[in-house]
Amino acid sequence: MPCMKIEFDDIVFDREVYSYCVNDKFECPNYNHSYSCPPAATFLRDRASKFKEFYLIYSKHDIDVYVKKVKAKHPRRSEEQIRNSFFLKGSYDEIYEEISLFLDNYRKNMMNIW
């Protein structure tokens, strides 16, 4: 999974991002159910500006392909159920593992500096 160091000024803080959480085609199951998700989550610009380093760890998924694949195996599942299960489990497990690897490597590199 790709990872890159970025500058604070490269980060876009835009409330329109919330439209990815809730829109005509999708509502994230965490929306309004988690302190770390909109609308409860605070706008983080001030908080994030206190950090010295920033890294972007990302993954790319074709949700439509995933939905078709799961639908072929489980025809009774709705598209919404399949999308929600992906966002709840599928992508988070992969990202969590990648973040853990990144942090392990980051700590090792920091130890070598000192």
Task: Give the C-alpha separation, 41 to 32, whole Å.
Answer: 9
82: number of Cβ within 10 Å: 19
Q: What is the pLDDT of residues 4-51, one digit of tens each?
A: 899 999 988 887 877 888 888 888 888 888 777 777 776 778 888 899
**Domains of the chain, residue spans:** 3-113
Q: Tell me the Ramachandran region of residue 60: left when phi exceeds 0, alpha when psi lies from -120 to 50, beta otherwise.
A: beta
Which pLDDT belongs to residue 1?
56
Please give the model's pTM, rounded to 2 decimal places. 0.58
| Locus of tokens 């009774």 | 76
Tokens representing 33 are 């159910």
